[in-house]
Amino acid sequence: MATAEAPPLPAPAPARSRNLIAGLASKYGLYFVLIAPMVVFAVKDLSETGNLSRLGTNIFEGLSNGSIWALIAVGYTLVYGIIELINFAHGETFMIGSFISVGLWGTLGLTLVTGPLGLVLGLLLTLIIAMVACGTMNVMIEKVAYRPLRSAPKLAPLITAVGFSFILQNVGLLWLGGSPEGVSDLLRAQQEVATVFGVRIQRADLLAIAVTIPLVLLMVTFITKSRLGKAMRATAQDPDAARLQGINVDTTISLTFLLGGMLAGAAGLIYALYQTTVWFFQGFQAGLIAFTAAVMGGIGNLKGAVLGGLIIGIVQQTTDNRIGAQWTPAVVFAYLVLVMVFKPSGLIGEETREAG
């Protein structure tokens, strides 16, 4: 019988070692790619200056800058997780958040001479109002532009999102004009708080981190622990089954947009304090970066969005500092393509309907 004869084994040794290399490359290649530039820069810094303070500064500033992207990216990822839509208008929500904050400073009379107590209370009030306003606006955008298209072909809401993004950009253009507008540096953002291992820590960095971490933790707790959060996750997995379980899908989707908008509003305020300029086009650029962050981490995944935002922040700062700011977008996007090649569903993995 033919089956009695053992089929000749394929030459094992070279194939196996090749497979081993291929397996190692696909398993650890990504981490290698992510870490390698940092190691190279670390060695270079050590050999040139004898310490790591330059790299440390890059990473720290990257983290504080990236935390703003993380806040916006969470909004993208929440919305994508639940209705599988790239919400192009989200960056503009963030921009409107900045504009509202700057406008409120004027209304509340916050200036450079305001005392610390007034400043803290005023900024807290601004934060709450900006968050509520942006959240509400996001909910209204969903009602007008996305809900009527719930059963339409998948790409139709993408175009209404682009339409809304143009409308909001035009609002911004009429509001503060076509060029970047400097705003008063309420926190004296550049002022140094401390120096740790040669890394200068500025007020702006502390602010960005101090606002982002509690907000993200709150959001994660809300989504994993509360009933409404459970409803959101159920709707993201299967809207029809969620509806059968008595979940009001429309309300849940509105809630998602509310949360995403609120985070974008908070990011808007921090951005204004951090960069001390606002511009009608800032939302477009930030939206692009935050969307990239959300995809890099694994779209639909909250922790992934935060991680992606932080990584992109670090990549941006390092490139700005060492290669030149004009190349930063190309480096960020090249990083994204690499991550996608090695991990087609993002760093942590996606949590969407198709992924199951």
Partner 1 sequence: MAIANPADRSPSTRKYSLESGIPPIVGRLAFVAVAIFAILLPFLFDPISSFLSDCIIALAFVIMALGLNVVVGFAGLLDLGYVAFFAIGAYAVGWFASGFFVDANVHIGVSGFITNLPGIHANFLIVLVAAMILCMIGGVIIGLPTLRLRGDYIAIVTLAFGEIIRVFAVNGDAISLPFGENSNLTAGVNGITPVDQVQLPFLAPFTQLNLRPWYWLILALVFITLFVVIRLRDSRLGRAWIAIREDEVAAASMGVPLVKTKLYAYAVGAAIGGVSGAFQASYLNTVNADQFKFSFSIFVLAMVILGGLGSVWGVMVGALVLSFINSYLIPDVFRTVPKDLFGLDFELTDLGFGIFGFLLLIVMVLRPEGLLPEKRRQIELNEDIDAGETSFEVRA
> Which residues bind to partner 1, rule: CB under 8 A?
80, 84, 86, 88, 144-145, 148-149, 151-153, 155-160, 162-167, 169-171, 173-174, 288, 291-292, 295, 299, 326-327, 329-330, 333-334, 336-337, 340-341, 344-345, 354
Residue 252 CA from chain centroid, whole number: 22
- Min dist CB 183 to partner 1, Å, is 23
Q: Smaller CB distance to partner 1: residue 47 or 151?
A: 151
Q: How far apart, in whole angstroms, are the C-alpha atoms of residue 123 and residue 34?
A: 37
- Min dist CB 7 to partner 1, Å, is 27
Q: Smaller CB distance to partner 1: residue 42 or 340?
A: 340
The DSSP annotation for 45-71 comes to HHHHHSS-HHHHHHHHHHHHHHHHHHH
**Given the DSSP bridges, would you call strands 192-196 and 181-182 parallel, antiparallel or unpaired?**
unpaired
**Given the DSSP bridges, would you call strands 277-278 and 181-182 parallel, antiparallel or unpaired?**
antiparallel
SS3 277: strand
Radius of gyration of the chain (CA): 23
- Min dist CB 166 to partner 1, Å, is 3
The DSSP annotation for 185-206 comes to -TT-TT-EEEEETTEEEEHHHH
Q: How many CA atoms lie within 13 A of 93 on its CB side?
A: 35
Cβ-contact 165, 145 below 8 angstroms: no
Q: Smaller CB distance to partner 1: residue 59 or 78?
A: 78
- Min dist CB 316 to partner 1, Å, is 13
Q: Smaller CB distance to partner 1: residue 8 or 153?
A: 153
Cβ-contact 75, 87 below 8 angstroms: yes
The DSSP annotation for 281-298 comes to THHHHHHHHHHHHHHHH-
Q: Smaller CB distance to partner 1: residue 45 or 350?
A: 350
- Min dist CB 333 to partner 1, Å, is 4
- Min dist CB 223 to partner 1, Å, is 21
Q: Which residues contact 78 (CB under 8 A, 6 or more apart)?
A: 232, 256, 259, 260, 302
Q: How far apart, in whole angstroms, are the C-alpha atoms of residue 80 and residue 250?
A: 15
Q: Smaller CB distance to partner 1: residue 22 or 334?
A: 334
Q: Which amino acid is at 25?
A: A
- Min dist CB 271 to partner 1, Å, is 20
Q: Smaller CB distance to partner 1: residue 127 or 168?
A: 168
- Min dist CB 237 to partner 1, Å, is 17
Q: Smaller CB distance to partner 1: residue 43 or 173?
A: 173
